[in-house]
Chains A and B, each alone.
Chain A
Amino acid sequence: MRIKSYSEALRDALDQEMARDPRVIIMGEDVRPGVMGVTQGLYDTYGPTRVIDTPISETAFIGAAIGAAMTGLRPVVELMFCDFAGVCFDQILNQAAKLRYMTGGQISLPLVIRTTMGAGERAAAQHSQSLHHLFTAIPGLKIVVPATAEDAAGLLLTAIRDPDPVIFFENKMLYDSQMSVSDPAIALPFGKAHLLREGDDLTIVALSRMVGFARTACDELAQKGISADLIDPRTTQPLDEAAILGSLHKTGHLLVVDEGSARCGMAADIASLAASKGFHSLKAPVQMLTPPQTPIPFAPELEDAWLPSSGDIEKAAYTLLQKV
């Protein structure tokens, strides 16, 4: 074990896979300098054929990564902000997600699109979104939303080794968060939730940066005699439904916390799971805690009001348990 930041853990995982498999290449905007930190230094080790700076042409380079994945490479392509998916959505929606199916299984796509999500950098509406739910709605993709350095590294190994296209959402507000992690990284399976806290009163399902906030909230709740299961699904496709429903069966109360969309997002998706498959376990209406259904504002006061906090999670838990 070693203390690493989320960003260092990701970089070391990339390095580990590139050393293990010569078919792994990295491409994207500014990956040689590594402005997001994660690819820093890899060019020095692997050179220009495996660490490729591209033009600011997301359609061309995401598409090229797809074509390369179809023909023998295992590209890890960086889409600097998930907001930029807007300019290359066709390649993800109509190409990567569908090629295996449309060709009757003839094409395999071992492709990872690493991208960032998360508000809090005062970067306003076009550099702060969390769009994991959009991609979860597209069959053919696998979606990873790691909340910790250990999970980020372990799930990245799995993503690179996976034969299907994976969209890997790194929360940029977590890059500097540190923890003791396995060294070298150990691959973690997709579709297996992480139970971070165990309790009897309610189930909190949280994703990405909201997991840390929920952990803080759980500590506060514990001081007031309220204990919660805290579940991080870690991947939204596949989704560990059994872990969520099993915990709901035990507690009878469900709070879902997500930084994605209030409408048609993961919170609504998991609430609908509870309604359709866990209805008889529910002792109260499901609580969904998300940002409001608005673009992300710039002014720090507004952005802070937009993003759910650990205090908001605590309050939502009281509401759920009718202890307001």
Chain B
Amino acid sequence: MQLPRDTLLRLWRTMVRIRAFEERLILENRKGGIAGHLHLYIGQEAIATGVCAHLADEDAITSTHRGHGHALAKGCDATGMMAEIFGRATGSCAGKGGSMHIADPKRGHLGANGIVGANAPLALGAALSAKTLGTHGVSVAFIGDGASNQGAVFESMNMAAAMALPVLFVIEQNGYGEYTRTDAVTGTADLAARAASFGMPAQQIDGTDIFAVYDATQSAIHHARTGLGPTTLVATAPRFGGHYEGDNQAYRSASDMQKARDQQDCLALYRNRILEAGLLEARDLDAIVHAAHSDMEQAARQARADAPPAPAALLTDIYAKAL
């Protein structure tokens, strides 16, 4: 399918911004000042970008601990996210969530989740609301291949199929669940077939090919919006880094890591393809890269300058009104 120039630029911009956001985090983390762990999405940008390109603010996503890419692709503000990761009062969650819990309900982002697989049932609920309230909204649960072994995910797939809920399960298959190869702890190599066995269409796609992600999502979302129920997409793309930033990846071969960067970089693949086909000019693409890096540097500078939450914030937001 030939996409219009605007769309091509938008997809590139989103992928580049996710990459730039996280490359900035790596730099800032080395400088110090970021508490806790960072679970980076670098290498998988085409998946969040290709999926969320089809979603409006009224559509919901639920995300994972590796969720910065999903949030940016869904339209969350990078400055607020950066401030959140720095634990600032100006953060998107007022400094109470951090990297693993970024949420922006106004953008339809119902939250990244620190519990592996727990976001799948929440996506069902958003789909149930859409169906009950007649909004024609859909919801997407992003799930890792590690999470795909969780009972919460199996239960959700069954219930979504049984109730024909407008849900898309996107299994991001990066080959690892935390520090362990997924194939070493999974009874089947075919996660799409396993999802299909719950009674829904399911498809394996190349998650480094944004056009494959874009096209497959378009069909799945149409399926959901027309009341035909859930779909599962299993999108394969490598994790460039470890489970978290700083993980030495002793469990992974050097060649596997090198191959990911040299041959499976979704941004490089996209750029080469677009330039070879003469669809966009290199200078257009490069300008977007420069702008993204500049934006993220500015966001980090702002986050460092912002104040932490006031001590009184400890006791707010537990309930709607303090008891």
Contacts and interface: CB of A to CB of B under 8 A. Distances in A.
A66 B317 CA distance: 17
B103 A63 contact: no
Interface in B103-146: 103-106, 110-111, 113-115, 118, 120-133, 139
A104 B95 contact: yes
A66 B121 CA distance: 8
B115 A100 contact: no
Interface stretch (A105-113, A169-177, A259-267, A312-320): A105-113
B129 A57 contact: no
Interface in A39-95: 49-50, 52, 54-55, 57, 59-73, 75, 90-91, 94-95
A106 B93 contact: yes
A63 B117 CA distance: 11
Interface stretch (B33-41, B66-74, B155-163): B155-163
Nearest to B116: A90
B165 to A, nearest CB: 8
Interface residues of B, number: 49
A199 interface: no
Nearest to A60: B155
Contacts of B156: 60, 63-64
Given A63-B121, A66-B121, A95-B122, A57 B96 contact: no
Contacts of B126: 67-68, 70-71
Contacts of B124: 60, 63-64, 67
Contacts of A237: 323
Contacts of B317: 100-101, 103-105
B60 interface: yes
A285 interface: no
Given A90-B115, A100-B320, A63 B152 contact: yes
Nearest to B102: A103
A1 interface: no
Contacts of A142: 319
B227 interface: no
Given A73-B133, A139-B318, A163-B320, A67 B159 contact: no
B155 A55 contact: yes
A102 B96 contact: yes
Given A63-B120, A70-B122, A95-B122, A104 B152 contact: no
Contacts of A67: 60, 62, 110, 121-129, 139
B101 interface: yes
A123 B202 CA distance: 42
Contacts of B318: 100-101, 139-140
A141 to B, nearest CB: 9
B201 interface: no
Contacts of B129: 67-68, 71-73
B253 interface: no
A59 B60 CA distance: 19
A70 B101 CA distance: 15
B158 A57 contact: yes
Contacts of A107: 103, 105, 110-111
Contacts of A150: none
A89 to B, nearest CB: 11
Contacts of A62: 121
Contacts of A61: 121, 159
Interface in B42-73: 60, 62
B110 A104 contact: no
Contacts of B114: 94
A191 B323 contact: yes
Given A102-B97, A104-B95, A63 B319 contact: no
Contacts of B158: 55, 57, 60
Nearest to B58: A71
A164 interface: yes
B91 A104 contact: yes
B122 A102 contact: no
B226 interface: no
Which of B123, B139, B156 is most buried by chain A, counting CB atoms within 10 A of its CB? B156
A95 B125 contact: no
Nearest to A109: B320
B155 A49 contact: no
Contacts of A65: 125
A297 interface: no
Nearest to A104: B94
Contact of A73 (B93, B103, B120, B128): B128
A187 B114 CA distance: 37
B87 to A, nearest CB: 12
Contacts of B152: 59-60, 63, 90-91
**Across chains A and B, which 9 residue pairs bring their CB atoms closest together, nearest first?**
A67-B125, A63-B121, A104-B94, A60-B155, A57-B155, A67-B122, A105-B317, A71-B129, A68-B125
30 contacts: A49-B131, A60-B152, A60-B155, A60-B156, A63-B122, A63-B156, A64-B125, A64-B156, A64-B159, A66-B125, A67-B60, A67-B62, A67-B123, A67-B124, A68-B132, A71-B60, A71-B110, A71-B126, A71-B130, A73-B128, A95-B118, A100-B317, A100-B319, A102-B101, A103-B101, A104-B91, A104-B95, A107-B103, A107-B105, A107-B110
Given A67-B121, A71-B125, 17 more contacts: A25-B132, A49-B132, A60-B120, A64-B128, A65-B125, A66-B125, A68-B128, A68-B129, A73-B128, A90-B152, A95-B118, A95-B122, A103-B105, A106-B103, A107-B110, A142-B319, A164-B319
